[in-house]
Structure 1
C-alpha cells in the first residue's frame, strides 16, 4: 500500500477544527482531526509533511509518526507541528483498522473494559465552536441553544445542574468558576469577594446532592503559584476529585510544589506534548492523573505510550475531550484499550449537539458510561453535508 494523497478540510464556522483524510492506492481513506490554529496546521501538513509521507506505506504507523515528530521544530510541544502529526497519526490508525476490518481499539490490543465512566465538562453549545477561544470571552453565557447550556448552569444554577446530570446517571462534572477572577487580576491574586463568588457553585452542589457528585476543577493554567496554592486550600473542604492545570505546565518543579500543598490529586495535562514532558512531571511527583489530548500530543501512537508510562508510576490515564468529534472517537477507542484508564471526559452539549452536524456517529453514552464504538477503524466518517458546505475549504497534496 502507498499513501497517494493527503487532504485537509476546514470550515469558517468551525474555524478551529481541521480534518485530515489520508488516501491510499487500495482505496482506503483514513480520517483524522486536530483542533486550534487550523490554518497553521494545514500549512505544515502540506508544506512540510506531505513530501515526507506521500508514497510511504500507511501501515508503517510507528515509523511515520517518528518521521513527523523528529523534525527540529517539532520537539515535545503541542504546537502546530505536533497537532499536524497528531491528525495524520489518527488517520493512519483509522486506515489500519479499515484494512484489517477491525475497530481501532482492537488494533490497540482489544477492550480492557465493557464500559467506562464519563464525566461531563460543563461547557455550552458554543464553547470552542467559534474562532474566539479564550477561557472567559467565548462562554456565550445566556445564549441558550438547548437544554445543555451547562456552562451557564454551573455559574448560576450549579445545584440544578448537578441534579440534572445525576438524573442521566452522570456522577462527575468539571467546572471552572475561578476563571473570571483570573482574567480580572491576570492570575496574580484573588480577593476575598472573588474567592467567595467562585466557591459558590461548590457550596450549591454539595448542599443539593452531597457527595453523590464528583467535582473536577479546571484552572486553565491561569494562576501564579502562590494564588493557586491559596485556592487549593480553600476548596479542600468540598472534596474535589482533582485540580487540573492550576499553573502553566512548563515547570515540573513548581507543579510539584503545588502538589505537595494539597491532598487533592493534580491532573496534567492536555497542554503537554509527547511522553517526554509527562516523564518530567511524573518523575517529580507533580501529577497524579495523566490527561492526554490525542489531537495535540502526537496522536494515538504517542497517547498510548504516555498511558503505558503513567501505569509504570501507578498513575491513572484520563483522555481529554473538549475539541472535535473525530478526536472524541479516537480518545474513546484509546481509553478502552488502556488498562489504567480512570474516566473519559465528555461534553453533553457537544455529543448531543454540534458533533452530530459533522460526523456520522458519536460514541454511545448511557447511564454515566461510554460504550465501545462499533464499526471498522474509528467507526466515524464526515457527514456528506460537510462536503457540500459553502464555507468548506479543501487543500490536497498528491503523489
Structure 2
C-alpha cells in the first residue's frame, strides 16, 4: 500500500480547524485534524511533509512519526511542525484501523475500560471560534447563541451551572475565572479585590452543591510564579481537583517549586510537544497529571508514549480537548487504550453544538461518562455537507 495524495481542508467559519485526508492506492482514506494556525500548518504539510510521505507505506506509522519531527526546527514544541505531524499521524492511525477493520483503540492495544468519566470544560458556543486566540477576547461572551453557554455560566451564575451539570450526570467541571485579571495585570500581581472577584465562582459552586462536583482550575499559563502561588493558596479552601498550567510551561524548576507550594494536583500540559519536556517535568516532580493534546503533541503515536512515561512515574494521563471533532474522537481512542487514563476532557457546547455540523458521529456521552467509539479507524468522517461549503479551502499534494 502507498500514500498517493495528502489533502487538507479548512473553512473560513471554523478558521482554527484543519483536516488532513491521507489517500492510498487501496482506496482507503485516513482522516486527521489539528487546531490553530490552520493556514500555516497547511503550508507546512504541502511544502515540506508531503514530499517525505508520498509514495510511502501508510502503515509505517512509527517511522513516519520520527521523520516528520526530525527537522531541525521541530524541537519538542506545539508549533506548526508538531501540529502538522499530529494531524497526519492521526490520519495514518485511521488508515491502519480501516485496513484491519478495527477501531483505533483496538490497534493501540484494546480497551482498558468500558466507560470513562468526563469533565465539562465550561466554554461557550463561540469560544475559540475566531482567529483572535487571546485571553478574554476570544470568549464571545457578547454573542450567546445556544443552550450550553457555560463560559458565561461560570462567570455569572456558577451555582446554577454546577447544578445543571450534576443534573446531567456530569460530576467535574473546568473553569478559568482568573484569566481576565491576569490579562489586566499582565499576570504580575493580583489585588485583594481582584482575588475576591476571582473566587466568587468557587464560593457559589461549593455553596450550591458542596463537594458533589470536582472543580479543575485552568490558568492558561498567564501568571508569574509568585502570583500563581498566592492564588493557589487562596483556592485551596475550595478543594480544587487540579491547577492547570499556572505558569508558562518552559521551566521545570519553577513548576516544581509551584507544585511543592500546594497540596492541589498540578496538571500539565497541553502546551508541551513530544515526550521530552514531560520527562523534564517528571524529573522535577513538577506535575501530578500528564495532560496531552493529541492534535498538538505529535498525534496518537506520541500520546501513548507520554501516557506510558507518566505511568512510569506513577502519574495519571488526561487527554486535552477543546479543539475540533476529529481530535476529540482521537483523544477518546487514546484515553480508552491507556491504563492510567484518569478522566477525559469534553466541551458540551461543542459536542452538542458545532461538532454536529461537521462530522458523521460524535462520541456517546451519557450520565457523565463517554463510551468507546465504534467502527473501523477513528469511526468518524466529515459530513458530505462539508465538501459542499462555499467557504471551503482545499489543497492537495499528489504523488
Distance 1:32 1:139 in 2: 26
1:142–1:152: 8 Å Cα contact kept in structure 2? no
**For 1:1-399, what aligned pairs fall within 5 Å after superposition?**
1-399=1-399
SS at match of 1:138: helix
Superposition CA RMSD, Å = 0.5
How far off its partner does 1:277 sit? 0.7
Distance 1:135 1:31 in 2: 30
CA distance in 2, matches of 1:308, 1:137: 37
- Residues of 2 paired with 1:147 and 1:325: CA distance? 19
Alignment partners' CA distance in 1, 2:394 and 2:277: 33
Q: Distance in 1 between matches of 2:107 and 2:255?
A: 35
Question: Secondary structure of 1:33's match?
Answer: strand
**Structure 1: tracts of 5 or more residues without a match:** none
Residues in 2 aligned to 1:122 and 1:134: alpha-carbon distance in whole angstroms: 17
Per-residue deviation, 1:142:
4.2
The 3-state SS of whatever aligns with 1:18 is strand
Residues 361-397 of structure 1 show CA distances to partners (whole Å, capped at 9, x for unaligned) of 0100000000001111000000100000000010000
After superposition, the C-alpha distances for 1:345-371 in whole angstroms (9 at most, x for unaligned) are 000000000001111001000000000
Tell me, in whole angstroms, the C-alpha distance in 1 between the residues paired with 2:330 and 2:204. Answer: 35
Alignment partners' CA distance in 2, 1:334 and 1:382: 20
Question: 1:139, CA displacement in angstroms?
Answer: 1.0
Give structure 2 stretches of 5+ with no counterpart: none
- CA drift at 1:319: 0.1
CA distance in 2, matches of 1:358, 1:73: 33
Q: Once the two structures are superposed, what CA deviation does each residue of 1:117-164 show, in whole Å capped at 9, x if it has no partner?
A: 000000000101111111201111142211110000000000000000
> What SS does the aligned partner of 1:256 have?
helix
**How does the TM-score come out when normalised to structure 1?**
1.00
Q: What do the CA deviations read for 1:182-232 (whole angstroms, capped 9, x no partner)?
A: 000000000111100010000000000000010000000000000000000
Equivalent-residue separation in structure 1 for 2:392 and 2:239 (angstroms): 46
Deviations 1:85-134 (CA, angstroms, capped at 9, x unpaired): 00000000000000000000000000000000000000000101111111
Deviation >2 Å, runs of 4+: none
> What does the per-residue CA deviation read over 1:72-92, in whole Å, with 9 as the maximum and x for residues that have no partner?
111111000000000000000
SS at match of 1:43: helix
CA–CA distance in structure 1, aligned partners of residues 380 and 131 of structure 2: 24
> What is the DSSP-based 3-state SS (H/G/I as helix, E as strand, rest coil) of the residue aligned with 2:133?
coil
SS at match of 1:279: helix
CA distance in 2, matches of 1:203, 1:218: 17
Count matched residues.
399
Listed one character per residue, the Cα deviations across residues 279-323 of structure 1 (whole Å, up to 9, x for unaligned) are: 000010000000000100000000000000000000000000000
